[in-house]
Amino acid sequence: MRWAPGVFLSIAVLASGCTHPVGGTAAAPQGTKPFYSKVQPEQRIMAKKLLTAEEIGEVTGIPRLEQVVPIETVLANGNIVSDCAFGATLATRQQYLSFTAARVQTATKVADGVREYTISNALVVFESVANAQQQFEQFSSRMQRCDGVRGDLNTATGSESWHIQVIHAGDDEVNWTRKNDSGKWSCRLIARPRANYIASVMYCRLVDADDKAEQVISRLLDKLAG
């Protein structure tokens, strides 16, 4: 995206405009399930749990990804008016109404002045496991009504029309794609509740076919279970 005015109104805004859990699960020994410990709501701890630009590059094969300054909270709101647009971001107050701490870490690649990738992973930590599940179920319920919804996203260079396709919205996972009508930018979000937090990935790219969101969320869940 070309940077939208204001400070990171959404990761979707951060990502869109150059011209917002899952496929994949954490690896575990056969016959066992990965164990996810509760995450303490401290930024230094959350920073170590999330993927770095280097780790994202390793799993996607994308060279020369650059780390963006992390966001140490959920975002106040989006710059788009549709109710469903609030779900078309990585983490907003409209998306999760009650949380203890949050962190978004992003890697991006720009070539010849064109943003080719913006790949973000996030943790939103809640007071308890029950609270995390409740908040996720409410988010999932809202997103179930959003399949096919269209909207507009304001950027520094104008307005982009987009539409959402909801692949899955259940108690275990929210998984959707959002594409600009111009065909120049596509995003996929995968989010899953784990222990007392929600882990999510947003994978935005210039080439629609180059979707590796599932690989990134799998790597993130591996790291969280480690």
Which pLDDT score is estimated for 76?
A: 60
| Between 190 and 30, residue with greater pLDDT | 190
Which pLDDT score is estimated for 29?
A: 43
- Say yes or no to pLDDT of 58 above 70: yes
- 138-177 pLDDT, tens digit each: 889 888 888 998 887 776 677 778 889 999 999 999 999 9
List, in order of start, the domains of the chain with CATH numbers. Answer: 11-225 (3.40.1000.70)
CA-to-CA separations, 113 to 125, 187, 198, in angstroms, rounded: 35, 20, 34
Amino acid letter for position 21: P
8 Ramachandran zone, left/alpha/beta (phi>0; psi -120 to 50): left
pTM recorded for the entire structure = 0.81
Which pLDDT score is estimated for 195?
A: 97
